[in-house]
Amino acid sequence: MAASKLTFHVAPDASPEQVLLMIERLAEDPAHRFSSTRELLEFSEVWNIDDRSEIPSLAIALGLLDRDGSEIGITKTGLNLQFLKAQVRSDVVHFMLYSGWTPEDPALNPFMWSYLTVCDYLWEHAPLDILQATPMLVEAVITQSEHAFTGVPGYDTGSVSFSDKSIRGIRKWLDQLRPPVFQGDMFVRRHFCPPELLLLALGDVVLKTGGELGIDFLLTSARRDLLCRICLLEPSAFDRTLDWMLPLYPAIVEPGTRTGAYGRFIRLHRTPGLEDLAS
């Protein structure tokens, strides 16, 4: 049976160390363009970056590199990522992976749908031994793909390519998060996350749940749940983490002007981007 034309596999060869090192080196000469993927990989080998096409492919999907005709180079997003503190870059890329798929354009980056589906499963069932849960995670992605992708051109319900190797690809990114989400092989929800991640998550949830800029936005239990899923955060730690984040970005977000029995309000002045996170 022919494999689905949609890519659900998350390649472990495109590891955080490899992708972020490539961006770091390209940021040293952002105007330079490469005539082909092969030329880029030959450049990268000098810096001990693996000769694997999955690395630039993931960077392109994340918007860190772009391909203009046959030329490849770093993007403004890639440069903005490099400007961030090194210890938060993996959390920011985690956000990009988690939020990069939308039901409005399901054929674009379906592997990111796999990533968010696995993250959601881990969060919902935490604490969870990922090695023991790998067969269930694989089955969940394959089974749930039918609901999300039936009718999408290129999707074949009987030939979704997703396996324990894909889980290893996802774990490589999750292993880089700080504070960590693994204690040995046990996935646990965090009791804090970088404020940069929470700010990006807040912008995403406001956009996707009908919020408006400049207007009080109610953090309902459902919205808080979405934010905790993105940040892999323990719900009981949400308010403390939000209180830490709010004073850091007063030009972007502030407490709402109202309080109520149904939850807290915040007011987002503009949708945050990576350029807002640089220290």
End-to-end CA distance of the chain: 51
DSSP 50-83: ---THHHHHHHHTTSEEEETTEEEE-HHHHHHHT
Q: Angle formed by the axes of helices 110-125 and 164-174, to 10°?
A: 70
* Sign of the CA dihedral running 11, 15, 20, 22: negative
Q: CB–CB of 177/94 below 8 Å?
A: yes
Judged on CB neighbours under 10 Å (0-12, 13-18, 19+), 274 is: buried
Cα gap 169→106, rounded to integer Å? 21
Give the 3-state secondary structure of residue 228. helix
Q: What is the pLDDT of residue 2?
A: 46
Closest CA to 278 of 84, 89, 137: 84
Q: Is the peptide bond before 247 cis (omega within 30 degrees of 0)?
A: no
Provide φ and ψ at 74, rounded to 5°: -75, 150
* 232: region left, alpha or beta (phi > 0 left; psi from -120 to 50 alpha): left
3-class secondary structure per residue, 146-163: HHHHCCCCCCCCCCCCCC
H/E run at residue 186: strand 186-187
Q: What is the pLDDT of residue 279?
A: 60
Cα gap 70→53, rounded to integer Å? 15
Place of tokens 């502030």: 254
Q: Give the contacts of 255 (CB within 8 A, at least 6 positions apart).
A: 246, 264, 265, 266, 267
pTM of the model: 0.95
H/E run at residue 137: helix 130-149
Structure tokens at 225: 């749940």
Q: What is the pLDDT of residue 1?
A: 40
Q: What is the pLDDT along the chain (279 residues), one digit of tens a residue?
A: 445 589 999 999 999 999 999 999 999 999 999 999 999 999 888 888 998 999 999 999 999 999 887 799 999 999 999 999 999 999 999 999 999 999 999 999 999 999 999 999 999 999 999 999 999 999 999 999 999 999 999 998 888 999 999 999 999 999 999 999 999 999 999 999 999 999 999 999 999 999 999 999 999 999 999 999 999 999 999 999 999 999 999 999 999 887 666 679 999 999 999 999 976
Q: Give the contacts of 84 (CB within 8 A, at least 6 positions apart).
A: 92, 196, 274, 277, 278, 279
Torsion angle, CA of 225/190/193/162, rounded to 10 degrees? -70
Q: Angle formed by the axes of helices 89-99 and 164-174, to 10°?
A: 140
